[in-house]
A and B are shown apart, each in its own frame.
Chain A
Amino acid sequence: MTTALANATRAALRDTQRALTQQRRGRVLLLTAAAMLGAVLLLRLLLALPLLARTLPRPGAGDGSSTVVMLAVAALSVLVAVAVLRARRAEWAEPPLSRVALWIEEQLEGTPTHALVTWTELAGDASASLAPNDLLNQAASGIVARAADAGTLPRALSRRRWTLWRGPLLFVAGATVVLFTGELWLRGAGARTIRTVTGFDGRTPPAPASPTGGLGRLRIRVEAPRYAGIPDSVFEDVSSLRALSGSRVVVEGEGLGPDATLAIVGTDSTRRAAPSELSAEPVTADGWRLRLVAQDVPLALTMRRGEASRLLIVEGVRDSLPRVSLEAPARDSVFREPRGVLALEARATDDWGVASASFELVVSSGEGERFTVRTVHIGVRQLAPTARRANWRGTLDLAALGLGPGDVVHLRAVARDAHPLATREYGTSETRAFRIARPAEYDSVAVEPAPPPAVDSSLLSQRMLLMLTERLDARQKRMARAEVLRESLRLARDQQKLRLAVGDVVFQRLSGESSAEHAHYAGDGHDHGVDQQGGKLAMSTNSSTGMLEEGNDSPIVAINKPLLEAYNAMWDAGRALEQGDPHAAIPAMRRALEAIERSRAATRLYLRGRPPQVIVDLAKVRLTGKDTGQTRPRSSRLAIPTVSAQRDARLVAVAAQLAQDTSAAGNGARMARDTVLLLRAEALADDPAFAAALGRLLDAMGAGGDVTNALVAARRVLGNVRRTELTPWSNGGPP
């Protein structure tokens, strides 16, 4: 009897131990799964960020990228799983029977007697000197019987399982839902991007963009130019695709070959015959093939067979020229003697790759009517054609060029891309000019401008004022307020003096006269090209066009804008300093200093004689005297409809067509879709937002159903109508 009781107690303990172990191991597995899902979710979110930011797929991305991403996700998941299992390996082991016994006793009502724990320790330990007696056996079996009675133990086990599993289980469920819905959304976003605008990155649209339209399914292959290094792409039944200019587009279909025409889509709703050859050829007895070459502008390929027709828009993407900038030398110079070495540095960027780069020199010698010119290339570099960026350096030895007085060297950086066309243009930087001075030009009376005026030595430079202000700002916490105010006011006075000096320069340059003859200041009653507004200066509306009178060759726009900016920034700084707030003055002073630096860089001296000013006396030439007659007023003519108005009218016509022909495969719907396709191709160059809205409209038309919202949205984009987004709290409102 005693043995039977002991066996029953032991069996109950073992069962409970097994259940508790399963719960613990289940928790470990759930935690591992949660960690893996968390890692995947994080990685997916990071990968999705570029997609959120871009509007079109980047060129050059291929199918291989998705495999790499998948491998990366898998590797990360495995690593995370191993880490979690390793950290939780203690939980994987079985709990000792004594702990199980204690746990069972804790689940019962009342104070634990620890009889079951004691029995377990005595019965389970063979080396123990004491064996459980009958009384202990009965007490232990009684506890087990109480635990099993009325389902106390199963309820406790269920409660514990829920307590252990609910956290990771909820996380796993939530992460799965987020991952699944996010993936669906991302696929939708990708599809929205590429369904009608299929990029040349090798992606295949997930669904046909348009019905086959009676010509059967089309297969379109895009073969990019070899130099671009883009793999061929194959699309099924797209209505619009992007291709690098020069790509060969091959359209294949079934049945009899259609009549095809190719036209260039202009932004002003015009069509011109495309100069590229459109060749058609039968492939098999029941197939046809069309070839065309993508150009810089959108092409519309119209295919007709009987009543059926299809429109394919090929958006050519121009291979842009390299953008080149000459970093050094930074500005033009005049040299007294043709000696010295100049360090040259340039950089270039290109959309597909810079193939070669060099510096080009044009050396012109002579004067008056006689000039000779020669072109020299130095620092020529051949680059890997896949290099999107290039930096190159060189040196220019002026002595080696054999220059003489009056010679001018025009320097620019030149970069070519890998385009194989012999007549291909190349990218050039801005040009720097270096002139060797003539010995006589320094004593010529015709040389203008005059030497710089004597500097007012009492003025502190803007940089010095800034340093003093920064020092005061750093010390002001340790200074008395009155002292801060006194020093700040002193700086404000110096700042004002410097501002007035800058103002003098502005007015002198605007007038082109010496201030000694005629003092200029803001508000003196005549136009200087600037207006004074609340102490600050602004370019006058009458002079902001950059127009100069003949004879006045001061580069006003280049010089005065930074000086005006410096003047106004100094005004702000002075105001802050007068209020004893040096900290607030520092940003304005930095702006002023930066503007003065820009003005210095923009100043270019034209060492030429001033051309004579001739004002034709019209009355004398026409022998008419003063003209006092009235001219016949011109009649105003009707304004030409703007491009936007024309597009709006066509969009409204599309809406009318769709309203009349509600079937997606109907003739009206097909014509409406073709109109939208052409509209989108026209708007690509000058109104990309409208083109994108039309792309969404095409998506909606392809998906079937109501397209009213997409039409309304496109029309709002065209009319630049912006509406506040409706929120759940908006309580209705217009759609």
Chain B
Amino acid sequence: MTPHDHHNVAHGGIHPPGAQAPFVFATAQYESGDWDSAPLVPANVIDSVARYTALPVRPQGVIVPLSSTAIMQYPLLYLTGHLPVRFTEREAETLRRYLARGGLLFVDDHNHDVDGAFNKTAREEIRRVAGPLVPLPNTHELYRCFFVFENGPPTTSHEMNGWGDNLVHEHLDAVLHEGRIRVLFSNKDYSSEWSFHPDNKRFLSVDNTKFGVNLVVYALTR
């Protein structure tokens, strides 16, 4: 199998030479915790990417074990959960290589609680694997690379309703490498906000998943 063939297979099918391989939304499956707590988020982000962009996109996401080198084939990796996160040595090593090779890990705290188990342990694991998280300025190009979010990350109904830590988080955190985001960490609970069937978007006056498009575009172009 040539590298080109491998690339095509990894994205869900064989494509003729020269054709663009579609973007595949990948959810990280890790050994500890509840990695599958937001099963509808991938479909919602895929729907938004298809709705607002001309990017070729695969209609169904994939679940990739974090310990598998298969994660190297996906530019964006989504990781969420409520429970404590403890990466195994293999998961940590694979993730370290993934980030060093230019992958983007999007971690969302499904508890939206800075005192929660997920936030504490996931931050600790991210620091161990990728380095310390720092506040991401709301002027970062992530908020302008497709849709423009003047005030930084969009708020979620969960934090506005006072659940979780009862805070409206002003910014996201990130691990940056030479200006580029390696790890994006959110306490805003997009996992709850975006976890609905995409057909129900028609009931929303403003689509709250547009920020997901920015995430995908940023991961694909930066």
Q: How large is the interface on A (under 10, 10 to 19, 20 to 34, 35 or more residues)?
A: 35 or more
CB A623 to nearest CB in B, in angstroms, measures 9
B51: chain A residues within 8 A (beta carbon): 621-622
B163 within 8 A of A: yes
Determine if B50 and A621 form an interchain contact, defined as CB atoms under 8 angstroms apart.
Answer: yes
A549 within 8 A of B: yes
> Cα distance A433–B31 when bound, in Å?
10
B116 within 8 A of A: yes
Determine if A614 and B198 form an interchain contact, defined as CB atoms under 8 angstroms apart.
Answer: yes
A545 within 8 A of B: yes
Stretch at the interface among B60-68, B136-144, B167-175, B214-222: B60-68
Determine if B29 and A545 form an interchain contact, defined as CB atoms under 8 angstroms apart.
Answer: no
B179 within 8 A of A: no
Determine if B47 and A616 form an interchain contact, defined as CB atoms under 8 angstroms apart.
Answer: yes
A550: chain B residues within 8 A (beta carbon): 27, 39, 42, 60-63
> Cα distance A611–B41 when bound, in Å?
11
Determine if B163 and A369 form an interchain contact, defined as CB atoms under 8 angstroms apart.
Answer: yes
Determine if B40 and A614 form an interchain contact, defined as CB atoms under 8 angstroms apart.
Answer: yes
Give a binary string over A606-637; 1 marks a CB under 8 Å from any B CB, 0 the rest: 00100111111110011000000001011000
Q: Is the interface of A mostly helix, strand, loop or mixed?
A: loop
Determine if B39 and A612 form an interchain contact, defined as CB atoms under 8 angstroms apart.
Answer: yes
> Cα distance A425–B126 when bound, in Å?
13
Determine if B36 and A612 form an interchain contact, defined as CB atoms under 8 angstroms apart.
Answer: no
A622: chain B residues within 8 A (beta carbon): 50-51
B154 within 8 A of A: no
B121 within 8 A of A: yes
> Cα distance A553–B113 when bound, in Å?
27
A173 within 8 A of B: no
Q: B84 touches which one: A362, A555, A634 (CB < 8 A)? A: A362
Among B64, B89, B117, B192, the most chain A Cβ lie within 10 Å of the Cβ of B117
CB A88 to nearest CB in B, in angstroms, measures 63
B1 within 8 A of A: yes
Determine if A373 and B59 form an interchain contact, defined as CB atoms under 8 angstroms apart.
Answer: no
> Cα distance A614–B42 when bound, in Å?
9
Give a binary string over A422-437; 1 marks a CB under 8 Å from any B CB, 0 the rest: 0001001011010000
Q: Which residue of B lies closest to A410 (CB)?
A: B84
Contact status of A549 and B62, CB under 8 A, knowing A371-B82, A614-B43, A616-B198: yes
Determine if A617 and B19 form an interchain contact, defined as CB atoms under 8 angstroms apart.
Answer: no
Q: Which residue of A lies closest to B32 (CB)?
A: A431
Q: Which residue of B lies closest to A544 (CB)?
A: B70
CB A550 to nearest CB in B, in angstroms, measures 5
> Cα distance A658–B56 when bound, in Å?
54
A548 within 8 A of B: yes
B151 within 8 A of A: no
> Cα distance A372–B36 when bound, in Å?
20
B65: chain A residues within 8 A (beta carbon): 546, 548, 555, 557
Q: Which residue of B lies closest to A367 (CB)?
A: B82
Determine if B84 and A364 form an interchain contact, defined as CB atoms under 8 angstroms apart.
Answer: yes
Determine if B68 and A557 form an interchain contact, defined as CB atoms under 8 angstroms apart.
Answer: yes
Give a binary string over A358-377; 1 marks a CB under 8 Å from any B CB, 0 the rest: 00001010000101110000
> Cα distance A303–B31 when bound, in Å?
51
B40: chain A residues within 8 A (beta carbon): 611-612, 614
Given contacts A369-B111, A425-B128, A633-B19, list 10 more A-B pairs with CB under 8 A. A364-B83, A364-B117, A371-B111, A373-B117, A410-B32, A551-B39, A616-B198, A618-B57, A621-B50, A631-B20
6 CB contacts below 8 A, A to B, read A371-B83, A431-B86, A545-B69, A546-B68, A548-B29, A548-B65
Report which A residues bind B (CB closer than 8 A).
362, 364, 369, 371-373, 408, 410, 412, 425, 428, 430-431, 433, 541-542, 545-553, 555, 557, 608, 611-618, 621-622, 631, 633-634
Counting from the closest, the 7 A-B pairs by CB-CB distance are A611-B39, A633-B18, A546-B68, A614-B43, A373-B117, A431-B86, A545-B70
